[in-house]
Every structure is written in structure tokens, then in C-alpha cells.
Amino acid sequence: MSEAIDRPPEPPKADLSGRDLGDFRLLRLLGRGAMAEVYLAEQLVLKRQVAVKVLKRELALDETYVKRFQREAQAAACLSHANIVQIYEVGCVDRVYYIAQEYVQGMNLRQWLSRNGTADLRTALSIMRQVAAALAKASEHGIVHRDIKPENIMLTRDGEVKVAD
């Protein structure tokens, strides 16, 4: 039998849904990663849906993470390719750092594999070809992804691949 250990409760995760960041109204949380949370948002002026990646509050206090977050956005913003998620804007409102990017309707590769099982050869080759094309484009600009994993490979409803992060 183990004894209970007195620990202070963890602070609740702040959900920013409903908040405006510049021209973006955060609608709902889509997911959480190690450095950031991603929200479905509406870009108010253009009336379009976007994904807004918000640096976690505790990391926003560390200049190293802020610079890393901004470098990621700058690197991705210089890339224009059909298989790379497009960056629209980088900003900071009240010490909330964010990247507004293309919203990909669909699911990530991990979700797709969980739902569909192992991909057939044609589908697997299509996904690999598109990911390789995105990585080749990044490489042409001296950018190495460093975090290719199923969660960062988005699949649209019509089978197009978009590499994120």
C-alpha cells in the first residue's frame, strides 16, 4: 500500500477559446503539443478559418522558447509549397505569442492510421511522395524539419498531404 504524497494541485490548463488575438477569434482547442496549443480560429477581416498555434503560457516567460517559436514561424513562412502548411501571420498580444496558419480540414496521419489501419501500397506511396516533396522544398531553403511524425502530417479529405510544424 502506498502513502499519499502531498503535492500542490497542478494549475488548470487555460483554454483561450472565445478570446481574440489580433485579427483572430479563437473558436475551440484542436490539440496540444510540447510547446504550443492549436486552436481553430476565425480570421475576422477575411472571414476564413485558420489554425492559431499559441506558445504555452509557461514557455512564453522564457526568452529561449519565445525565440525558438518565432524562428519556427519565420522558417516556415518563407516556404511556399502545396504540401506545407502555410503561415499567415506571427504575433504577440499581451505576452501571448501566436502563429496563424492554414487550417487543414481532415486529420493527422496518426488519427488516419487509427481509423483505417495500415495504408495500402498506393496510399502509402502517395503520402510518402508528398511528405518527401515538402521536405525537399524545405531543404532547398536550408531548413531541416527535425520533428517528422504522424501527428505533424496532415491529410485533407481529398488525400492531399500537408506537413506542419
Active site residues: 147
Neighbours of 83 (CB within 10 A): 20
CB atoms within 10 A of CB 90: 18
Cβ(35)–Cβ(59) below 8 Å:
yes
Dihedral angle sign, alpha carbons of residues 154, 164, 21, 88: negative
Distance CA 164, CA 102 (A): 10
The candidate with the shortest Cα–Cα distance to 31, out of 19, 40, 22, 41, is 40
